[in-house]
Each structure stands twice: as C-alpha cells, then as structure tokens.
Amino acid sequence: MIQPPPRTTLPTLKKRAEFLAVAKGGRTSRRAFVMQAAASEDGPRIGYTVTKKTGNAVERNRIRRRFRAAVRAAAEQARDDVDYVLVGRRGALSADFGDLVREIGQCLARAPLSGGDVPRPRHRKRPSPANPEQRRGGSDRRSETSSE
C-alpha cells in the first residue's frame, strides 16, 4: 500500500475570523507558547501570532521563524481534523530548539479541542457598592482607630 509522503509543513490560517474560531477551542500553555486548537473541516492548518507586548518587531519575527521551523519538524504529529494557533511568548527566544520541537509536537498530538489547562479569565464588571463610604476604601475604620 502506498503511503502519502510525510507533511513538511502545515497550511497557514490567514483570516482573522479563522483565528477567532480557533480561539474558542481549547488551550495548552507552555513556557514558550500557548497552543490553541479547535476542530476543523479543512484538515490541519496552523496560525502564528505574537503580540506587541512580547517585544520589538525583530524579536517577534524571530519567534515566528522559530515556530515555523519547529512546526515543520513536528508536522507529522498534527491531527487531521484540527486547526491550531501558536501564541508566542518571550520564552520562545531562549528555549532550546529541540525542546521547542518536542513540546510543539506533544501539543499538536494532544491539544484539547475544548476547555484546556488554562482557565480563561472572565471579565465582568463588579457591581459598585451602594454605600459611598465603601468606594473610598473604608476610611471610617482608620478614623476610629486613630481617635482611640
């Protein structure tokens, strides 16, 4: 039986809507990156993102280049029905390349499609206190202790 040649690289996600769809899936966190994964109908694809908080353009591009090379080395471990997004962290610059390939390969093979190991923050506004004294930080208590 003829086997297909091993994948050398994965097609990339290009549109913002594709990145947002993957962001709704599961996440796996590592020191050098966060891997997001979601079910896909188009076969395995991958996207790379590094925020401006990570560093200047030179550092961000270096992180993306390292990720692309590591994904090429670990592409055969990607599942066929999953889209991935690698979110770069500053640790990717100093990580050993062999370790980076190993961790990315593990995440490609076992990335959760929902939930994940990183709890997502819930950004909800807290209700403001009804008592205006509570908004100032409880200054009543300080005045009681200083007057004794």
**Ordered per-residue pLDDT tens for the chain, 148 residues:** 665 555 577 899 999 999 999 999 999 999 999 999 999 888 899 999 999 999 999 999 999 999 999 999 999 998 888 999 999 999 999 999 999 999 999 999 988 887 655 555 666 666 666 665 655 555 555 555 555 5
Q: Do you know the residue count of the chain? A: 148
E strand map for the chain: 26-29, 33-39, 45-49, 82-88
Instruction: Give the dihedral sign, CA 94/99/100/103.
Output: negative
**pTM of the prediction?**
0.71
Instruction: Give the C-alpha separation, 76 to 73, whole Å.
Output: 8
Closest CA to 37 of 118, 110, 94, 103: 110
- Residues 77, 42 contacting (CB under 8 angstroms): no
What's the pLDDT at 7? 57
Please tell me the number of Cα atoms within 13 Å of 29 on its side-chain side. 6
pLDDT at 146: 53
Residue 46 in contact with residue 83, Cβ under 8 Å? Answer: yes
pLDDT value, residue 143: 52
The pLDDT assigned to 112 comes to 86
